[in-house]
Amino acid sequence: MAGQIIQVSISKGGVPKLAIQEAWAGPLGLDGDVQRNLKYHGGPRKAILLISLEDLEGLQAEGFAVSPGALGENLTVQGIDFRQLREGQRFRAGDAVLELTQLRQPCKTLEVYNSGEPGKIQRAVYQKDGIPGSAKWARCGFYASVVQPGRICTGAIIALVDQKV
């Protein structure tokens, strides 16, 4: 399982996160990236958020005005089927190694994409009783911890290096 990092993104808090060419990934995430609400975001188990470009394109087709970085992801990834992602999988992303830790649940910050219909995008990307492999599994992204710090850049390969045991 391998793909490509289409965009590396950071922000000073909130969405959208903006594209940068490269960043250092450390235990608390990408250098220069800030999370506004540390009660729900950030920390070593939620250091980096990954989202599929294919899922963003699906949301665009459903009428949502989203693009890479819009949902607050740090890495927008192309070519990996997010329905196959599971906690504990490890990926080499550029020079860093990331371990998937938990599905991302949509928060109120994403309300800006609802076009006046509260909860619309949340329903499009998440189902509370998500079943691995289902159509909405990981559609809102997957959080990862940084197991091995390193540089991550746009265009880098992201590849599975270790399956969940």
- The domain that holds 15 is classified in CATH as 2.40.33.20
* Cα separation values, 129 from 5, 26, 50, 107, 126, Å: 29, 32, 21, 16, 9
* Cβ-Cβ contacts under 8 Å for 71 (sequence gap 6 or more): 15, 16, 51, 56, 110, 125, 140, 141
Does 115 have pLDDT greater than 80?
A: no
Q: What is the pLDDT of residues 51-82, one digit of tens each?
A: 999 999 999 999 999 999 999 999 999 999 99
What confidence score (pLDDT) does residue 27 get? 97
Beta carbons of 159 and 1 less than 8 angstroms apart: yes
**Full domain range(s) for residue 104:** 2-162
Tally the domains of the chain.
1
67 vs 36, higher pLDDT: 67
Does 128 have pLDDT greater than 90?
A: no
Percentage of residues in the chain with pLDDT exceeding 90? 71
Total Cβ atoms within 10 A of residue 21: 9
Task: Report pTM.
Answer: 0.94
The per-residue b/e assignment along 138-147, b for 16 or more CB within 10 angstroms, e otherwise, is bbbbbbbbbb
What confidence score (pLDDT) does residue 129 get? 67
Does 84 have pLDDT greater than 80?
A: yes
Mean pLDDT of 115-139: 83
